[in-house]
Amino acid sequence: MTVIAVTGHMDLTEESVLLVREALGAALAEHAADGLTGVSCIAKGADAIFADAVLSLGGELVVVVPSADYRQAKVKPDHAEEFDRLHRAAAEVVVMPHAEADREAYEAANGELLRRADHLFAVWDGRPGSGRGGTADTVAGAREAGVPVTVVWPDGAARRSG
């Protein structure tokens, strides 16, 4: 059984979603035969795409929710249905012991992802982060902890500007 966690950008362009979905599906398929568990915060973008790919390959999904108020405070209406669907499909849901979704809650959630992971997939453009708890920070934490990192950034992928 391989446990793969994900970190990645939320602000993928519409064109990039399909590219990332295909790349993650191919990368995850290599691990599916031995049993696959995916660990994700199921945020919009890379996290949700990864979670959906894990489920489509017959894997188990573990959802890590950063805080008690995360769904209400941070999940936008355009992602709510997908968030709820993935939440319901999870074999396990872990809610971090934080009342509010803030930088500290995100860092704790990322720490939980890395604690559980045999491997980290990073849907990441390789650029430095804008603060603690983001994709670049999680990749750095994985590397410091000795968790192997696979960067998934297919040709043509891009982030929305602004």
**Per-residue pLDDT in tens (0 to 9) along the chain, 162 residues:** 899 999 999 999 999 999 999 999 999 999 888 899 999 999 999 999 999 999 999 999 999 999 999 999 999 999 999 999 999 999 999 999 999 999 999 999 999 999 999 999 999 999 987 767 789 999 999 999 999 999 999 999 999 975
Dihedral pair phi/psi, residue 95, rounded to 5°: -105, 120
Q: pLDDT value at position 128?
A: 85
Q: pLDDT value at position 33?
A: 84
Say if 115 falls within a structural domain.
Answer: no
Q: pLDDT value at position 144?
A: 95
Handedness of CA 129, 139, 84, 94 (dihedral sign): negative
Say if 24 falls within a structural domain.
Answer: yes
Say if 111 falls within a structural domain.
Answer: no
Say if 152 falls within a structural domain.
Answer: yes
Handedness of CA 133, 42, 73, 97 (dihedral sign): negative
Is residue 108 within 8 Å of 64, Cβ to Cβ?
no
Say if 151 falls within a structural domain.
Answer: yes
Q: pLDDT value at position 134?
A: 83
Looking at the 3D structure of the chain, how many domains does it have? 1
Range of the domain at 74: 11-42+53-96+142-156
Residues 142-151, buried b or exposed e (16+ Cβ, 10 A)? beeeebebee
Please state, in angstroms and rounded to a whole number, the distance separating the CA atoms of residues 64 and 90.
10
Say if 135 falls within a structural domain.
Answer: no
Please choose, from the candidates 44, 46, 12, 73, the residue with its C-alpha nearest in 3D space to the C-alpha of residue 150.
Answer: 46
Say if 72 falls within a structural domain.
Answer: yes
- The single residue listed with the structure tokens 């519409």 is 14
